[in-house]
Amino acid sequence: MNTLIDRIDHIVLTVTDIEITTQFYEKAFGFEREFFRGPEGQPRHALLFGQLKINLQDRNTETPTKARIPTIGSGDFCLIASVPLDDFIKHLEAQQIPIDVGPVSRRGALGPIRSVYLRDPDGNLVEVAEYV
């Protein structure tokens, strides 16, 4: 049977402070903020990049479609850089954003990658990689 899924559209992070998280992702990755209303009219926040987004919620976000146990700091995901990884590393250094690990060799969905790992304000692990 062929896969029934094409791609990931968005992920959701539960965070302590939506504004602090938004500022970090703008500074570290150049993401754009989005404000929208959920199905019941509740305010929602997201970070846009390329054809994807990260929705942000805090413990008080009201939505009928929420993880059973939303946990701050449990995110762990990989982003593919749109620039050479060495340029991204220089950007992080200029922004004084520390790298936890890397660069290191890993295996991505399409083959070998070279990665660095960093943490957002809540401790979510963000891997940024380039294919080699």
Helix, strand or coil for residue 49?
strand
Distance CA 74, CA 87 (A): 28
Per the annotation, the verdict on 127 as an active-site residue is yes
| Among 26, 32, 34, 127, the one annotated catalytic | 127
| N-terminal to C-terminal alpha carbon distance within the chain | 30
Residue 17, strand partner residues: none
Catalytic residue list: 127
